[in-house]
Structure 1
Amino acid sequence: MNNEILKDLIVSVKDQNLHVLNVVVRKNGNIIAKYDFEEEKPILLYSVSKTFTSIAVGISISEGYLNLTDKIIDFFLRQKRYL
């Protein structure tokens, strides 16, 4: 990892006053660089969670885990034994 590239990115984000919370660089599944612009704290996601949910549902449908005719309650009833 070229540290100068990461340093330039950090300076650029700060200079432009962008709302970036942190940067994480991974290689082969391992974190090789990380920079926090702010102290880590819980973030309210609200409607963005719908985006991730719809992506997960779309992938599940395309891979055959779900069908458009499935009832969500059926999945919860199957999981009841794990509660």
Structure 2
Amino acid sequence: GKVRLIVEDLDRARDALRAARIRFSEEEALLFSAEHRPGALAEITEKLAQAKVNIKYAYATTIPGATRATVIMAVSNIEKALAAIGR
């Protein structure tokens, strides 16, 4: 199995995983907020497609009543992705 962690302190996370003798790998991902409305994620992914940026995986979440969603996305080229979505 695989568990993906988004951590605030990368060095502490590495140290804890090593101390527990847990094998791990690292991968950069984008973390951004998006409008919480139908079609918002489709608009973002269309911009990425036009920039020829592949999405490896993505997660999005929100809470009831929120106007913004939190999105985590691993992509083939972070710099191109940031430029494409205007971040």
**TM-score > 0.5 by shorter chain:** no
Give the structure with the higher percent strand: 2
State the TM-score, normalizing by the size of structure 1.
Answer: 0.27
Larger Rg computed on CA atoms:
1
State the TM-score, normalizing by the size of structure 2.
Answer: 0.26
